[in-house]
Structure 1
Amino acid sequence: MTSTHFTIAYWCVLIAAVLPIVCAGLAKYGAVGTPRREGGFDNSDPRGWLARQTDWRARANAAQANGFESLPFFIGAVVIAHQLGAPQTQLDILAFVYIVLRLVYVMMYVAGLPSLRTLVWTLAFAVNVGILFVGYR
């Protein structure tokens, strides 16, 4: 009987899935509980409210969207790497680096640093490609 366990790479998938939700919370930070008439968060029209935001709130919302957009490739890459029998340590390290880069990406996005943000996005994408091929023989 084989024993399986939840790898670090799988934990990274969970973190990557939660990260866009954290970005949404960041976009709403300080506006929840504030009356709508004073510009507070409108839970009856959350997408409309987020679409009307500017500055760091709008960027946090954009980071949320990008997080959801990048998620399928990351999940697929991790699953494919596992199926190909990738060396677990290498896969775990790459997945962890991807998560760190995505966290830095969110920080650069919210801070309004587009050139650095693009560089970090590119690095994260390259790491994700590395994850996909780490088990290739």
Structure 2
Amino acid sequence: MTVAFWCVLIALFLPYVCTGVAKFSQGKFGPRQNHDPRGFLSTVDGVAKRADNAQLNSFEVTPAFAAAVIIADIVGNAQPVTLDVLAVLFITSRLLYIICYLADWAMLRSIVWVIGMGLIASFFFVSM
């Protein structure tokens, strides 16, 4: 199992870290809210709302990252260490993205998002 594949697993779980922050940062989530957690999350604001937004974005980008890693591995033209480094950089960019979202640093968050998307594209370019 390569580092890049482990990074896919990490990427799959990052949205749930954001979900936890969204649900529990305001101290209002409990058994009653668990009957309709999406309804509850639609009522939060502040850092909880930003965490929910980060969660949604993480769910959107993870399939592209996973596909890029898998396709690059199947094509096999790139050195495995290159794919591992790109994957770690992508996970780092996602962690920075989440931090920027929670801190409400909108411009920096957008820059980090672009870097992450560039990293996804780079899996294809290094595999040519």
TM-score range, shorter chain: over 0.9
Q: Percent identity?
A: 42
In 2, Cα distance between equivalents of 1:17 and 1:134? 23
Correspondences of 1:1-40 after superposition (within 5 Å):
6-30=1-25, 39-40=28-29
What is residue 114 of structure 1 aligned with on the other side?
A: 106
Aligned residues: 125
Matches within 5 A, 1:119-130: 119-130=111-122
Runs of 4+ in 1 over 2 A off after TM superposition: none
CA distance in 2, matches of 1:126, 1:67: 15
Q: Which protein shows a greater Rg?
A: 1
1:59-89 deviations in Å (ceiling 9; x for gaps) = 0000000000001110100000001112100
Residues in 2 aligned to 1:124 and 1:114: alpha-carbon distance in whole angstroms: 15
* Structure 1 counterpart of 2:53, from 62, 66, 72: 62
Alpha-carbon distance in 1 for matches of 2:29, 2:116: 34
Shift of 1:118: 0.1
Alignment of structure 1 residues 41-80 onto 2, 5 Å: 41=30, 42-80=33-71
Q: Taking structure 2 as the reference length, what is the TM-score of the superposition? A: 0.93
Q: Hey, what's the Cα distance between the residues in 1 that align with 2:29 and 2:8? A: 32
Q: Per-residue CA shift, 1:39-77, capped at 9, x if unaligned?
A: 434001100100110010000000000000001110100
Q: Distance in 2 between matches of 1:133 and 1:78?
A: 12
